[in-house]
Structure 1
């Protein structure tokens, strides 16, 4: 046996005689009773394997998902919660009366009859649903509009003008049975669902029931592709991919559900891929990020922006692009078929956020020319979900240390002890054997 091998053997014997690890000393002191020695060796081996399995499982769990979301015992009172930016959209995207006026203006400037334009203006549906119209027909209508109009067609302003106004859609608005001016509550704004009535300053409405009486008359409907015969209204919430529909003659009660998400500030030190969310100072909120991602895709593919974007805003003014028109229908159809929110990998949820959803219950029926909807928060409390680190460093250390202590009686002292014997005592014994 070599000098190093003999020194290692002497060191191991010395280590087993003097180690503070429970049971290891018996491997030396009962060496003449082989069956007992085998028992202790087997017992220690099982302990070491068990400790290794639990420790590695804990570490792998921490590396795979280092955060955990749990329901907190804290909550907010629903009566103190402001309403989100509720959006009310009519299935009738364009006003029949205003389109007739437009057709008459085009007839007087182009020489074509009013009926000629009324037969082609349904192709304006391509602004709202590009896939619902034939791209070539839409492009021909765009060329005809350019030839017939003396001024440049401003897409966003024209669509706002041609859409049904909030005054015509909202017959009355009440907040806890107190009548309010609907024009002060809602404003007509371009959205991806068309020009819709968006609740303004929703923070003013807290813990109350908002009741809306809607005009379901079809007198001003202009039949367009993709418009269903029984269509009425749809309700949308920011950040909620779902929608609720309201049919003519329905009286419905909507419950607004909300949850609050709150992240531990210490998660800022975690990698973005592990926590899966953005803090406010790191990136745009998901509600703003996804539309911007969609806008970048539209500009890259079609070199234009859909009418839902306000290009006059400071954030978009520097893009130097124009609005998409019917000539871009083919490109927008291709984009609509290929674009997905999952392609925007940089858009993550906010770490501190509110999530909303709507649920509907039918209260009864009324005149088919009207619809009525009451909106309020469901429940008395709003739950809080907290996102925390799965383990803090000291918790991970205590878990690993506890497992090692239970299985093999190991501690920091045991680790330093092993290093001492395998370095200093091995070196000492190697030198002693050389004398």
Structure 2
């Protein structure tokens, strides 16, 4: 009985420890391994480079538009209201009456809010002075395209895997087969300080975003600020993560990541977690106000907000820019908490570009390199950005399940051995001592009883015969 008591106590402790270990596995079902740090990325894509000017409105384009399409009286009324067109990207504070007045003035010339904003935003042609890639000078219009972001209209290279209509990604991605400063992308930019009209900052420059081609440039993406007179080197490195077969066979809400083409979005052709978050915020605005702010991602059937709905959007902006998942949900311990983040799980397989920035002062004195890049240009407020792969290799990662049947087998054996000395032999011994041996003793006693009863019956018969 004492031996059985000790055995039951140790068994209880083993089950308790195993349960805690399995609970930890439920909180962290996947694990990321490093396959190699020297993987070769021949033929892989170049990172997407996006330049967003601090200036959101071109003074020159605004004046030309007001003179061309508006009377002098209406133009004078519009000028003090111009910053209000940027309510979705800059922290402006206006009354509903001010939004209504600007809406009526623009409507008088058959302008919508979106059309007007697009026409007065800085273009890429005048900002991108000269571009160089694969050690050859290219027209910047061939390499860059003007794209909508939540920061306004920006200039992007290799955005959404499309350079422009005339040149495919394959034709320009050959530069990614080489590494080093010479074979990367070099851009000479002019922030056009004299053309500034509406800026978030009190200085000129750009926000630089380094991302993958399918990521929408949203308000919460990390960026690097650069200023006139800077020369910036962006050292890019690729990190590719692939999912194992064991992970792919698991349920979605267990592995908590999406496989390729497993999740479709309404506003984007390709799924990324960044795009999912951006679409989720837009959907929340659409449900509350019945429209989506200009420059925000939207589905085709979602209406773009006019200035008449600006007050509704601004009333919700503080909530929309917070973290999406509810504060009372602990996504680290509650298995279902992540379902509240609009089902925006990360990708199981993805490629990210890590970027390190080095900055220095742009000074052409005593320099003889890149003469073709600077030829015929008087440097004033210009800046230069060099983007290149720092090395020919990068990290290959492997996303796998934290535990599979072999891990569980070893976990069970290790914990039970710690408490009870479990092994295949000891298991047999436990079965033997708890079942086989007692059954053997019981059968032996039963057999002896039967034999004794047979002897008694036999003796009775003998006594009866002898009496007769």
Tell me: CA distance 1:135–1:423, structure 2 relative to 1, closer, same or farther (3 Å): farther
Q: Deviations over 1:306-347 (max 9, x none)?
A: 222576xxxx22x2x321122222222123200235333410
The answer for the alignment partner of 1:352 in structure 2 is 349
Give yes or no for the alignment of 1:241 onto 2:221: yes
Tell me: CA distance 1:123–1:281, structure 2 relative to 1, closer, same or farther (3 Å): closer
Give 1:123 shift: 2.3
Tell me: CA distance 1:158–1:140, structure 2 relative to 1, closer, same or farther (3 Å): closer
Within 5 Å, give how 1:31-430 maps onto structure 2. 55-73=18-36, 75-77=38-40, 80-108=43-71, 112=73, 114-129=75-90, 131-136=91-96, 137-146=98-107, 148-149=108-109, 151=110, 153-200=111-158, 201=162, 203=169, 204-205=172-173, 206=176, 207=178, 208-222=183-197, 224=198, 226-238=199-211, 241-283=221-263, 284-309=271-296, 316-317=299-300, 319=301, 321-339=302-320, 340-343=322-325, 344-366=341-363, 367-405=379-417, 407-411=420-424, 413-414=428-429, 417=432, 420-421=435-436
Give 1:357 shift: 3.7
How many equivalent residue pairs? 384
Partners of 1:169 and 1:60 lie apart in 2 by 55
Output the TM-score relative to the length of structure 1: 0.76
Partners of 2:445 and 2:49 lie apart in 1 by 81
Q: Match of 2:423, SS? A: coil
Partners of 1:144 and 1:310 lie apart in 2 by 26
Partners of 1:193 and 1:363 lie apart in 2 by 26
Contact 1:216 1:249 in 2 (8 A): no
Give 1:114 shift: 3.4
Q: Match of 1:112, SS? A: helix
Q: Match of 1:103, SS? A: helix
Partners of 2:297 and 2:281 lie apart in 1 by 14
Partners of 1:364 and 1:348 lie apart in 2 by 42
Output the TM-score relative to the length of structure 2: 0.71
Q: Match of 1:86, SS? A: strand
Give 1:165 shift: 1.3
- Of the structure 1 ranges 345-354 and 154-163, higher mean CA displacement relative to structure 2 is found in 154-163
Give 1:244 shift: 0.8
Tell me: CA distance 1:190–1:61, structure 2 relative to 1, closer, same or farther (3 Å): closer
Q: Which runs of 5+ in 2 are unaligned?
A: 164-168, 264-270, 326-340, 364-378, 451-468
Partners of 1:154 and 1:86 lie apart in 2 by 30
Give 1:421 shift: 4.2
* RMSD of equivalent CA atoms: 3.5
